[in-house]
Amino acid sequence: MVKPTEEAVVTQQEPLRKLAEVRDLNFYYGRTQALKNINMPIYEKKVTALIGPSGCGKTTLLRCFNRMHDLYPGNRYEGQILLGVDQPRNLLEMDPIEVRMQIGMVFQKPNPFPKSIYENIAYGLRVRGIKDRALLDEVVERSLRNAALWDEVKDRLKEPGTSLSGGQQQRLCIARALATDPEIILFDEPTSALDPIATVSIENLIVELKEQVTILIVTHNLQQAIRVSQFTAFMYLGELVEYNDTMSIFTKPVEQKTADYVSGRFG
Amino acid sequence: MVRNPKLIAVLHNPIAIAESIQQRKRWEQFFILLGWFSLLVALLTLVVLVADLLIRGWPLLNLKFLLSPPSSDPEEAGILTAWVGSLLVILVTIVVAVPLGIGAGIYLEEYAPKNWLLDFIEINITNLAGVPSIIYGLLALGFFVYILKWGESILTAGCTLALLILPVVIVTTRESLRAIPVGIREGAYSVGASRWQTIFDHVLPYSMGGILTGIIVGISRAIGETAPLITIGALTFITFLPEAPIKGEFPYISFNWLWSPFTVLPIQMFNWVSRPQEAFQINSAAAGVVLLVLTLLVNSTAIYLRYRFRKSIKF
């Protein structure tokens, strides 16, 4: 784990780079508008937390990033989510497969495939037609190491992924997302189905991972947002109420709604 | 961070990415085409079959055909006794098979102790669903006709077909009950409901959609069955209707029709097809259309019911 002092130094030295930017985003489930005119940046190799009460649209916003809404009929996007540092492209107009090749996702409940641990991770490469065994081996090991799972499972890569404990399954899902070396990984309340110890290990992992990948995380747990994120967006009723660096959101929020929420007065 | 140049080449090279996507899209297109083709084969067969029946039977498809009893003159012959027979037999089948099937399904799934006996029974019920229908006919001939002395009646036929579809109803009932999320049961128990209350108030109503599907499948099968009914001695030529269930004088309701001899549509068709006169072939085709419409009506009622159940319940 990176020590806080070192981290602060790194933050000061490296300039912030926008990896993605949400512009005037509206989203509709059929006729119901779930997101209203969202604007926010996503900074490279930082953790951005999305917080807000249930039904505020934070998961909806997260799922826009890898076009999960395309899977269900009647959903509609308006606006732009620009992806890329040099030549940004609107990912809402890209091929969803291409988007998902660059933006991975970890879900609320661990959802490993009922296949071996190895195949769970290799699958992201297999769908791209990669069959080279040495390459797959390398990726599986690297991903498992990055997900802090290698030492626990290296002797049983052939066992089913579903035989692992809940926390291990979630780290397996993180490894699966890491395998394809995405630009961004989306975490949708990744610890809400886990016990406190597994939660700590996932949180530590997120903190480490931001050295290599940009992270967007939806969380109900405000402490978790403070612990893992550098930037926080507070959402309410489909609108982005306030976006700022995490410290400011929690210590000197501008909006009254934000102040009420982070101090536990509602939600 | 990925450093292996081979990996970077496949994971981050825009040309490789575009090619990979394109190739996968081509496969997808191919499978969509394949799917369309499969669907077409299935649908075309059906369309040709129905069109053939319709074209050949068309001249006879009128009210007179529906309302006349069979006759030795193909011009005069109708299917009144056949479709009334079919409906009454199916009515008995439903009344017998549905409560028995659902009851057995609930007991096996919810109450029966989980041991080797249950496994044994389960395997055998599944096997029963695959037993050829003529075997059921033989069983019914021995049991209903000779031992219980019910004769070659509508009651015998209905019970025979009920036995035939019972395994299907039991198996789908069990599967639908099993599909209800554990959380629902636990929720009901947690407010103090008994097991029976949990089943009757929650599990059973929520799984009604699936159970109805099983009943639909069963009934569609029963409506077209011929072999077991011939075995128990269904008539092939019958010119009178069973006694009406409602009467003018006390007690206004009569179950005498249960004991009537009968015929059903598929048997009537079979009878006509096997006659030497060319003209009866038309009668047979027309009866075929009516049988299809009857099946369709039963099915669509059941599908509508299922839709209503499914719509009102979402997890």
Q: To probe the interface with B, which of A128, A142, A180 has the most B CB atoms within 10 Å?
A: A128
Q: Specify the pLDDT at position B108.
A: 92
Tokens of A60: 């909806």
Give the 3-state secondary structure of residue B136.
helix
User: Could you read off the pLDDT tens digit of each residue along chain B, which spans 315 residues?
Assistant: 567 777 887 788 888 888 889 999 999 999 999 999 999 999 999 999 889 988 888 877 888 878 878 777 777 777 888 888 888 899 999 999 999 999 999 999 988 888 899 999 989 998 988 888 889 989 988 898 888 888 888 898 899 999 999 999 999 999 999 988 888 888 888 888 888 999 999 899 888 888 888 888 888 888 888 888 888 877 767 777 777 676 666 676 777 777 788 788 888 888 888 888 888 888 888 888 888 888 888 788 878 877 887 776 666
Interface check B24 vs A, CB under 8 A: yes
Q: Specify the pLDDT at position B313.
A: 67
B198 CA: distance to closest CA in chain A (Å): 27
Of B1, B18, B23, the CB nearest to A212: B1
Long-range contacts of A204-209 (CB under 8 A, 24+ apart): A204/A1, A204/A148, A205/A147, A205/A148, A205/A171, A205/A174, A206/A47, A207/A1, A207/A2, A207/A47, A208/A1, A208/A2, A208/A146, A208/A148, A209/A146, A209/A174, A209/A178, A209/A185
Q: All domains of chain A, ordered by start, with CATH?
A: 4-262 (3.40.50.300)
Question: Residue B238 corresponds to which amino acid?
Answer: I
Which chain B residues touch A99 with a CB distance below 8 Å?
none
Which chain A residues touch B24 with a CB distance below 8 Å?
97, 127
Which of B205, B132, B217, B125 has the alpha carbon at shortest distance from B171? B125
Is B291 in contact with B265 (CB distance < 8 Å)?
Answer: yes
**Which CATH number is correct for B61-312, 1.20.1440.230, 1.10.10.10, 3.40.50.720, 1.10.3720.10?**
1.10.3720.10
Chain B: residue nearest A135 by CA?
B7
Q: How far apart are CA B280 and CA A31, in angstroms?
A: 58
Domains of chain B, residue spans: 5-58, 61-312
Which chain B residues touch A98 with a CB distance below 8 Å?
17-18, 21
Q: How far apart are CA B156 and CA B150, in angstroms?
A: 6
Q: How far apart are CA B243 and CA B265, in angstroms?
A: 19
Interface check A138 vs B, CB under 8 A: yes
Name the residue with tokens 């970077």: B8
pLDDT in tens, A239-253: 999 999 999 999 999
Q: Which residues of B243-252 are buried (b: 16+ CB within 10 A; e: fewer)?
A: eeeeeeeeee
Q: Name the stretches of chain A with pLDDT < 50.
A: 1-10
Which chain B residues touch A101 with a CB distance below 8 Å?
17, 21
Q: To probe the interface with B, which of A45, A97, A136 has the most B CB atoms within 10 Å?
A: A97
Q: Specify the pLDDT at position A1.
A: 38
Longest dimension (CA), chain A: 56
